[in-house]
Every structure is written in structure tokens, then in C-alpha cells.
Amino acid sequence: MSFFLEKNKIFLLIGFLVLGFFIAQIVIAGVNDNVSGWAWSENIGWISFNNTSGGGAIDYGVDIDTSTGVFSGYAWSENIGWISFNEADCPASPCRAELNFSTNEVSGWAKALDIDSWIRLRDTDYGVLRNDLTLPNELMNWAWSDTIIGWISFNCIDRNICGTSYYKVVVDIDSIDPVVDVFRINPVSSNWVSSTVLFDVSWTVSDDDGGSYLSHVEIWKAGYNDINCSDSDKTGCLWEKVNENYNVPPPPSNLWNSSVSDSPLGDGVWWYGLHVFDNMGNVGIEPFPPGPIKVSIDKTQPASQIQSPASNSWHSGKFSSGKFFLDTSDEDLVSGLDLTACKYKAISYDYYSYGCDPYCEYSTGWQDRVCNTSAQDITVGVGGNCPFEGNQSCWVYIRSRDNAGNWHSPYFEENSSSSKQYYNIDWTDPVVGEISPLTAVQGIPQTFTASLSDPVGKISGCWFYVDGNVTSTEFITVSPSPCENRASCTVSVNHTFFNLGNYPVKFSCSDAAMNVGRSPVPTTVTVVAGGSSAPIITNLSYYTAHASTPDQQCTDQFICCTEPTTQNNCNIKFNISAYDPDGNPLTYTWDFGDGGIESNEEDPSHHYYTANTFNVVVDVFDGSDHIQDNLLITVNNPTVSVGLTA
């Protein structure tokens, strides 16, 4: 190529000098075509790429598709006529004339229609190139035709003669990036945003210095705990586009402002970015600073728990100035920041007042409390947070709010969770009746009893005091157990006085709320010298029972037996009632009359293996005197049922 050009240098210079004076300036293309100006061939002279360049009444020109780079249309030479850049006129497919926007290289073919001559725009050692640093863009370098046309120069700079012959082929293609004038995310603050908020993403974009008009906007976001993202460096962020492109509505415009709504799916820190495109593919991004906009998402409720006291515990308020204390823990599970509010509420139930059937409900409403405290007062008693006595009569709820505005709410949890607890309230003392008997025999164990009830709660324990001192060796019995909710109960203890005299005694009983009830009046027990009276038997009886349930009388002969028999699982349960007038403890000896092992139980069970009538003898002994009684038991073989068939 260089040899050919040098050989024809003189001819080019002559052509430039002859026609250069007639080209005063480059005229840009009209609205229909974006290529204009002049090219020069040493053989055919000037080539006009647009009627605005070459004049004339015919509207012609060459155009480059701004999205594909494909040439179309016609140029004009007064010596050889029309030159087609249309793909349909190409010698072989694919061979269209085309501009590569990435490399700026022009390749393919054009055709001189009247002389049927092909013009090649690029080969291995030559080719037309776009200079996208100029406005408008200039085409430069050479094309070649191996017929009469020869070399075609697209720019006076190709031979460095622009001072004497200023010609160029220019492309009025937008290469200026559009601008993001305004980019906002609302709401945005240093605090966190909850799941109830949709972000309003708004923008104003423009393309005043371009020419291809705005095309569309893309919204991008990155984050969700991406460890490669940071406030100072977004290059490692994993960016993803939000939905599809947001296209500029018609008509074509160089200014557009709009907004859309979006909300990231997960908790954590996110960044939003904005890209704006014109119809030439030029792109502008959000202004820097500030760059991408940071938002913080927290869709998770904070965690609040009542650590103590335990649910279903009893409280009277007597021992802590009329209150008990909540130990609470509160935590923001996402941001880790301090919570903005903590609340508590007590709901109480009145089970006993007239008209409250089955109950009346009262609430304190949500009250402020200190987060993460071990001393939140819950007052007990009339006018307090828990003003009514009863089982599960006071429910306490706690909640908290994080920096994103999320409330922890115990109402949405399925079962009794640690953020809501129910408490039993009881400030009424148990009621202990008078003690009996009032006499005891020296050296003989005596059973002392008193009536007992708890008007609200349940009895947790009782103690027996003698002469002001609690006895530690006797076993105290409360029956029935548990003794609760106004049931009529008894408390009893066996105690032995070893010395004669008068002794003050009392029962003291406490309930689960630590309320204490005592014997109502001072009681004195008189201890007398012992006598020698024989025991007295007041009742002796029996019934049949299954071996596995000896304390239940059998009523179904197919399961056990309703009369004494030798069948398996048919036992005889014996019952005796006896007492000693002197108050001495009693022992029992049973002889079942079948030669078997005797029993020392008070109410034993026994099985007979043979059918017969047996004399059952029981001996009751008070330590010095015996008394006996007997029963006659007739035991039969079991009845066998035989089914008959015809």
C-alpha cells in the first residue's frame, strides 16, 4: 500500500489543490442520515456522502445504524455516479458495510452501481477507522477498489494536507455518556428500615450533550451480607439488576425523571446503583461522591424474654413491698444496636367478684420499661399491676422495638413463650383450725389433727410447734394432697410426750406464695400418766379384688371375681378399723386359715388356691394388751362356661 501511495502522491496533491478551494467546510448530515462530508479518489475525484455536503435537489446520504453499526444508503460521485452502501448490493453474504463500535473499525463493502465496481473498506493491511474522540466522529484512512476507482481517502489527515485541502467524512453518532443528575432512595438514614417499608428509588437523567436521546434506566443492587462489599469499596460486590430495564416513555427525550418501588429480600446492608443509557449505548452511572446508596434492612423481630420468675409461679407481694421483679433480656438480632423501646403489660383476671362469670379481664396497657433489666417492678394487690388473686390470674407480656421499627410481639407466638408468662397471685393466708385432742398419755405416741384450707392457692408445707419449738422428727401429713383452691383438708402429726405437764402446741402452714397460716388460738395439751386399756376393733370386713388393683373392689366377674374363688387374679382384700383408748400404736397379725404365711399389714390382700371355708383371725396388739376377731371366708372353684354348637 505504501508503495502505491507514494507513486500516486503527485496525482493526489494535484486533485486536492484543484478542488480543495471549493470545500470551505464540512457540512453535517441531515436528520435522515448521520454520515456526511467528502472522500477523495485519485482516479474518480470527490465522493459526496450526503446531499447536504454535495448539494443538489436529490435527497441522498449514507447512514449508520446506531444500534448495529450497519451502513445503508448512497454516496455520489459526479464521475462514476451512485455508490451503494446497502447490504443487498453486497457481492457475497455476509459482507455488509459495518462499523464496530467497540474497535471503531469499518469493514465490509460498498458498490459503484453504474460501473459495477466493488469497494473494499478493510483488508489485512488497510481499512477505514472511526475516531470517536472528535465531535462529530471522523472517518479516516483508506478503502480500495481494484477497478478504475483505486484508493479512497476518507480524511485529509491521511496524507497530512488538511492545511491546503480540508476534507473529511464525518459520522454524527452520539458518543457522550448520558448523566445521572439526581439519584435518591427514600427512606434512607443511618438507622435501619423494617419489612413494612418499600424503598422509593427515584432519578433524574439527561443527555443534553449527546444526540441519540435517552433509552432506559437500570437499577442495580448488591449486598445481603456479601463479605466482599464494604462502605469504601464496591468493586467486590455481587451486583444484580432489579427487574427489567425501565424504558424512557415516548416521545424521544433528553430529560427524564421517574421512580419505582423496591425492597430487598433479606436482612442486612444493601447498596443501590443507577445506570442510564442513551440510544447509542452510552452509559452514565450514579454520581460519585456519594456513589451507590446504602440501605440497611431489618425484617426480623427483636428477641425479648422473661428470664425469671418462672411461669406458673406463685406471688403474694408481701415479702417485697407488694411486688415481684421481672428479669428480662432484649436483643436486636440483626443490627446488634441498642433497642429503641421496651414495654410490658399485665392482664389480670378476676374469677371471684360478682358478675365475673367465668372471669372479668383488666389490662394495664403497654407501659415503658428498661431494656435488659433484672428489677422491673410488677406490683401485686389492689390497685397494682396484678390486682386479683387466683390461679393464672395475672399474665405479663413484654415487647421491644429495634432501630428499624420492628416490634417483638408475643401475641403472634403460638404457645406460651418466654416473652409472656402467667403468674398465680395469692396474698391470703391459709386457714388452720383448732388442734385436737387436748390430752396425751406420757410415753405413748398421739396423733394431733387440725382442719386446713387455702382460700386461693395451695398448701406447700406445714410445721408442728411444741412449747415454741418446731418438731423435726415427726412426719406431718396433709390430706388430701395437694390441698388447694378452698378444699377442706386436715393436717396431722404423731407426737410423743415423755414428760408430764402442760405444753403449748400449734400448726403453722404456708402456701406456694409463702403466705403463712397458724392455729387460731393458743392450744395447750395436757400430758397424763399412761393406763392399760385393750385395743378396740370397730370394723372387720373384706371384698374381692384383682391382684393388680387390690384397693379396688371387683365388679366384673369376667375380669376378676365378684365372689371368692381360686381363679387367677382373684384376691381377698381385708379391712380393719381399730384404736387404742390409751393412744398407743397398734400392730396387726393376720392368720388366713389356709396354713400360709401370716401378714402384719393393717389391711392385707390374700389369694386362696383351694376351695374351702377358711377361718381368718386378726390379732391387734397395743404393746401390752391383745384383742382378736375373725371372719369365715368360703372360697369356691371358678365357674366354667362351655359353648355348645349343633
What's the pLDDT tens digit per position in 345-399?
999 999 888 888 888 999 999 999 999 988 889 999 888 999 999 989 999 999 8
With residue 33 as reference, give the H or E element that holds it.
none
d(CA 543, CA 616): 14
Q: What does the DSSP 8-state code read for residue 406?
A: P
Q: Which among 619, 631, 436 is positioned nearest to 534, based on CA atoms?
A: 619
d(CA 465, CA 455): 23
Strand locations in 239-311, DSSP E? 239-241, 246-247, 255-262, 268-278, 283-285, 293-297, 303-308
Percent of the chain with pLDDT over 90: 48
Topology at the third CATH level for domain 303-425: Immunoglobulin-like (2.60.40)
Of 480 and 231, the structure prediction assigns the larger pLDDT to 480
Q: Which amino acid is at 85?
A: F
Q: Which among 253, 120, 90 is positioned nearest to 178, based on CA atoms?
A: 253
Kindly indicate the confidence band of residue 264, based on its pLDDT and cuts at 50, 70 and 90: confident
Q: What is the pLDDT of residue 632?
A: 92
Q: How deeply is 541 buried, as exposed, middle or buried, from its count of CB atoms within 10 A (0-12, 13-18, 19+)?
A: exposed
Residue 4 has pLDDT above 60, yes or no: no
* 388 in Cβ contact with 418 (< 8 Å): no
Structure confidence by residue, pLDDT tens digits, 425-447: 999 999 999 999 998 888 888 89
Residues 496/498/500/501 CA torsion (nearest 10 deg): -60
Residue 71: CB atoms within 10 Å: 24
Residue 265: CB atoms within 10 Å: 8
Beta bridge partners of 213: none
Highest mean pLDDT: which range of 82-86, 212-216, 518-522, 552-556: 82-86
Q: What is the pLDDT of residue 10?
A: 38
Residue 260: CB atoms within 10 Å: 15
Residue 618 has pLDDT above 70, yes or no: yes
Kindly indicate the confidence band of residue 14, based on its pLDDT and cuts at 50, 70 and 90: very low
Q: Which among 71, 67, 69 is positioned nearest to 84, based on CA atoms?
A: 71
For residues 87-109, average pLDDT: 83
* 602 in Cβ contact with 632 (< 8 Å): no
What are the residue ranges of CATH 2.60.40.770 in the chain?
Answer: 179-297
For residues 413-423, average pLDDT: 69
Highest mean pLDDT: which range of 254-268, 319-333, 564-578: 564-578
Kindly indicate the confidence band of residue 30, based on its pLDDT and cuts at 50, 70 and 90: very low
Pick the CATH number of 536-635 from 3.40.50.10320, 2.60.40.10, 2.40.50.140, 3.40.50.720: 2.60.40.10
* 555 in Cβ contact with 543 (< 8 Å): no
Strand locations in 497-611, DSSP E? 501-511, 516-518, 523-528, 536-546, 570-579, 587-591, 605-606
Kindly indicate the confidence band of residue 1, based on its pLDDT and cuts at 50, 70 and 90: very low
Which residue is associated with the grid cell 458518543? 175
Q: What is the pLDDT of residue 366?
A: 93
Q: What is the pLDDT of residue 153?
A: 97
For residues 578-605, average pLDDT: 91
Q: What is the pLDDT of residue 274?
A: 94
Q: What is the pLDDT of residue 9?
A: 37
Residues 89/90/95/99 CA torsion (nearest 10 deg): -50
Q: What is the pLDDT of residue 196?
A: 61
Which residue is associated with the grid cell 469499518? 106
Kindly indicate the confidence band of residue 53, based on its pLDDT and cuts at 50, 70 and 90: low
Residue 22 has pLDDT above 70, yes or no: no
For residues 466-477, average pLDDT: 83
Residue 634 C-beta-side C-alpha neighbours within 13 Å: 2
Beta bridge partners of 205: 180, 256
Q: What is the pLDDT of residue 8?
A: 39
d(CA 176, CA 284): 9
Beta bridge partners of 582: none
What are 199's three cell numbers? Answer: 424503598
**What is the CA 410 to chain-centroid distance, rounded?**
14
Angle at 165 between CA 161 and CA 171, to 5 degrees: 95
Average pLDDT over the chain, rounded to an integer:
85
What are the residue ranges of CATH 2.60.40.10 in the chain?
Answer: 431-528, 536-635
Sheet containing strand 323-331, strands side by side: 303-308, 323-331, 376-379
* 139 in Cβ contact with 129 (< 8 Å): yes
Structure confidence by residue, pLDDT tens digits, 270-324: 889 999 998 878 899 998 877 888 888 887 888 889 999 999 999 987 776 788 8
Kindly indicate the confidence band of residue 18, based on its pLDDT and cuts at 50, 70 and 90: very low
Q: What does the DSSP 8-state code read for residue 500?
A: -
Of 209 and 298, the structure prediction assigns the larger pLDDT to 298
Residue 642 has pLDDT above 60, yes or no: no
Q: What does the DSSP 8-state code read for residue 410?
A: G
Q: What is the pLDDT of residue 472?
A: 64
For residues 538-565, average pLDDT: 84
Residue 193 has pLDDT above 80, yes or no: no
In order of 539, 585, 621, 625, the CA distances from 628 in angstroms are 12, 16, 9, 10
Q: Which among 1, 40, 50 is positioned nearest to 20, based on CA atoms?
A: 40
Strand locations in 2-84, DSSP E? 35-41, 45-48, 62-64, 71-77, 81-84
Q: What is the pLDDT of residue 242?
A: 87
Kindly indicate the confidence band of residue 646, based on its pLDDT and cuts at 50, 70 and 90: very low
Of 245 and 195, the structure prediction assigns the larger pLDDT to 245
Q: How deeply is 96 buried, as exposed, middle or buried, from its count of CB atoms within 10 A (0-12, 13-18, 19+)?
A: buried
* 107 in Cβ contact with 122 (< 8 Å): yes
Of 529 and 179, the structure prediction assigns the larger pLDDT to 179
Report the first-to-last Cα separation within the chain, whole angstroms.
127
Residue 527 has pLDDT above 70, yes or no: yes
Kindly indicate the confidence band of residue 416, based on its pLDDT and cuts at 50, 70 and 90: very low
Residue 21 has pLDDT above 50, yes or no: no
The contacts found for 361-366 with CB under 8 angstroms, 24 or more apart, are 362/387, 362/388, 366/399
d(CA 121, CA 111): 11
CATH architecture observed for domain 179-297 = Sandwich (2.60)
Topology at the third CATH level for domain 431-528: Immunoglobulin-like (2.60.40)
d(CA 567, CA 557): 11
d(CA 351, CA 354): 9
